[in-house]
Amino acid sequence: MTDRFEISIDRAARQPLAVQIHRSISQAIRDGRLAGGARLPSWRDLAAQLGVARGTVRVAYEKLADEQLIAGMGAAGTRVISQGAPRRPAGPAREAAPLPMLFHDFERPPAAFQMGVPAQDAFPFSLWSRLMARSARAAAATPVSYPDPRGHSELRQEIAAYLALSRSIQCSPGQILVTSGYAGALGLILRTLDLDGCHAWLEDPAFPLTRIGLEFARIAITPVPVDNEGLDVAAALRLAPEAKLAVVTPGQQAPLGVTLSLTRRLALIDWAGRAGAWIIEDDYLSELQLKGRAAPALASLDPHGRVLHAGSFSKTISPALRLGFLVVPPELAARFGDVAAALFPAPAASIQRAVAAFLAEGHYLRHLRHMKRLYAARRERLAEHMRQRRRPGMAVHVTGGLSVLLDLPDTADDLAIASQALPFGLAPVPLSPWYQASRHAGLMLGITNQSEQRLAADCDRLIGLIEANGG
């Protein structure tokens, strides 16, 4: 229902008020502005809204019920009965989803090869349900007041303790802001630091959402090549010496999976200190390193206070939480808190409380240990299936992240392959949109949600689509 629906009554008209109310609701149902299943206010509530006697609304509702346009359903309230296809002007068949080149089928179960979604079959749902229920009760019992826009204090304390243990970042809860995922952290940074019009270094390839966010903020982007040591800092200095911002994924480069070398890390931090520039560290996988121990965070090496560390629970717990966090230098904490209060307040308190308990009671670290073993096995299994099926011009790479990277010949259309795969329940991610300075055809195959029974058939189907599209 997109058109505006409003009940208008004219007390000077000759028609009784009950007739006017009936006519307004009846017409809205027949032309589709009130869809089947829509709940109407009780006749008492609607009478109070319109300023008429309750009996007047009751008469209108009874006539609508006699015409089988509405029905009383007890505790479910009074609802519109479906009238079939609404008679309304032709328009789009469905509303356009945001950023369709990146996202599809919101709120659907994960498809095979889909990235960014943790394993559904290995998540401790029973435990998480208990924590959510307990947190919801605690949030409901708290005094009615505005929550801290920086985030729930217990969650910020737990994040600070976790970062000290797993990422070698020494920070206080006052330096941490809870955000609506990575996108919320990025928006908060760009607004607070007032970076409009500046030049920024961005890894090439890089997460397309980051590039889009920087473009929305009117930041001039310089793509910087990535090699087996991560972002090439020397190349960045040659390409854009005037830059005042760098956005990097030093732990596990997205999407290639390489770790930024210590030499490059120190060079990047030294540049930021000398140039008065800022570094956004997108630590999207945190310590979820499948082989060996994750390298300490870039922020742990920063003596100048120029690194802003952004983390997320999307890949480790669930993207449905829309929960992330940002660690800022102490001298910026007050300014970031003010902007968060005005524009980017933290998500719902009940969710924050549940995540705080998940961390405080040790469940989070146990869950990560379990996921590392599971994902390592699933990554190797998928890589082996693809190696057995690869064709000339293809290459299979086991990256440092949660995907298997499939290089394709330049003649392959990775966008078409990804689009055609969706009706088959497959969601590979095309690689070419991640590159800016050059075209590189490929597919990223998420490893987290696999079906052993369907894996071979899924791989066969994908290879068939690749061959049909120039691969």
Radius of gyration of the chain, Cα coordinates, nearest whole angstrom: 27
Element housing 358 (H / E): helix 349-360
The DSSP code for 55 is H
Q: What does the buried/exposed string (b/e) look like for 126-147 if buried means 16 or more CB atoms within 10 Å of the residue's CB?
A: eebeebbeebbeebeeeeeeeb
Type of residue found at 377: A
Please, how many CA atoms are within 13 Å of residue 260, restricted to the half-sphere of its CB? 27
d(CA 447, CA 384): 12
d(CA 283, CA 362): 21
Which candidate, 302, 192, 257, places its Cα nearest to that of 399?
257
Of 92 and 249, which is predicted with more confidence? 249
Within 8 A by CB and 6+ apart from 346, the residues are: 147, 148, 149, 150, 151, 152, 177, 178, 179, 180, 340, 352
Q: Helix, strand, or coil here: 453?
A: coil
Q: How confident is the model at residue 243 (pLDDT cuts 50, 70, 90)?
A: very high
Q: Does the pLDDT at position 256 exceed 60? A: yes
Q: Does the pLDDT at position 1 exceed 60? A: no
pLDDT tens per residue across span 13-55: 888 998 999 998 988 888 888 888 888 898 888 988 888 999 9
pLDDT tens per residue across span 300-339: 999 999 999 999 999 999 999 999 999 999 999 999 999 9
d(CA 361, CA 59): 57
Looking at every residue in the chain, the average pLDDT score rounds to 91
d(CA 178, CA 153): 10
Q: How confident is the model at residue 94 (pLDDT cuts 50, 70, 90)?
A: low
Structure token digits, residue 329:
């230098």
